[in-house]
Amino acid sequence: TTDNFTFKATNATLNDGKANIKYLVNGVNQENNVVNVPRVEGTGAIVVQVIAENGNVNNYKITYNKIPSSNAYLSELIVSEGSIEFNKETFNYEVNVPRNVNSVDITARVEDETSILKMNSYIYSSPHTLTISNLKPGNTEVIMLVTAENGTTYTYVVTLKKEANVS
């Protein structure tokens, strides 16, 4: 995940060509008017600092409030065998697996990169492909839990339905 998001401060126009402009985020000097704002919850400030030729300083403060994301959706769910019609608001899927297939890859991608992805109880970075090996005839569930920054959770379940062996 990325620790910052980008904010472009409007280019300030100086009345005096000898003055200088600095952009600061929470006191940290930025190289230009495209500033990196930390992805932490709470308030912070972007300061546009104008320094006149005589050394006088004027600060123009832009205050922001970072609200935690509530997005706990997947943006993509792919299976290597069979097919699914993925919709982020559909949480249960069934996939028919032929009897001669012994493993299936399931790839999940979160919609918001600040969300946490768990697949079968283990945390993974997104996107992640989980291989389900040694599939036995019958049903095998793969559970994906997505947790947003604010604690919202959605659970996606893929049930792999493997055909029984022919006797």
| Residue indicated by tokens 């600092």 | 49
Would you say the C-alpha torsion 22, 25, 27, 28 has a positive or negative sign?
negative
Sequence-ordered list of residues with C-beta below 8 angstroms from that of 18, at least 6 positions apart, any chain: 52, 53
Our CA dihedral for 86, 88, 94, 98, rounded to 10 degrees, sits at 40
**pLDDT tens track, the chain, 167 positions:** 334 455 555 555 566 667 777 877 777 887 777 777 776 677 888 888 888 888 888 888 888 888 889 999 999 999 999 889 999 999 999 999 999 999 999 999 999 999 999 999 999 999 999 999 999 999 999 999 999 999 999 999 999 999 887 76
How confident is the model at residue 70, as a pLDDT? 94
**Conformation bin of residue 151: beta by default, left when phi > 0, alpha when psi is -120 to 50:** left
- Tokens matching residue 51: 């320094």
Number of CB atoms found within 10 A of residue 163's CB: 13
pLDDT for res 123: 96
- C-alpha span between 126 and 73 (Å, rounded): 12
Q: Could you give the C-alpha distances from 33 to 19, 29, 39, 90, in angstroms and in order?
A: 16, 10, 18, 41
Neighbour count for residue 158 (Cβ, 10 Å): 23
Which residues lie closer than 8 Å to 50 by C-beta, 6 or more apart?
12, 14, 19, 20, 21, 57, 58, 59, 60
